[in-house]
């Protein structure tokens, strides 16, 4: 599931609102360890363009 969510985020990264929507939706499907991996991947890949979205979305997520 994690790889699928990464693929979707890659495909919608051209649109800020769609990216945020798909990120939130994807997080609901993942285990805490997968969320940590997705967070690291997102910041590495999209941190320069979507840092504010990533900060907002991942701040609300529990890793326990």
Q: How far is 6 from 12, CA to CA, in rounded Å?
A: 10
**What value does the mean pLDDT take over residues 3-9?**
98
Per-residue pLDDT, 61? 82
Q: How far is 9 from 24, CA to CA, in rounded Å?
A: 11
pLDDT digits (tens, 9 = 90+) for 21-52: 999 999 999 999 999 999 999 999 999 999 99
User: At 48, which helix (H) or strand (E)?
Assistant: helix 32-59
User: What is the residue-averaged pLDDT of the chain?
Assistant: 94
């Amino acid at each position: 599931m994690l790889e699928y969510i990464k693929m979707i985020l890659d495909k919608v990264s051209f649109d800020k609102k769609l990216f945020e929507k798909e990120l939130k939706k994807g997080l609901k499907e993942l285990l805490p360890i997968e969320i940590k991996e997705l967070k690291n991947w997102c910041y590495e890949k999209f941190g320069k363009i979507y840092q504010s979205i990533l900060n907002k979305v991942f701040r609300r997520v529990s890793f326990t």
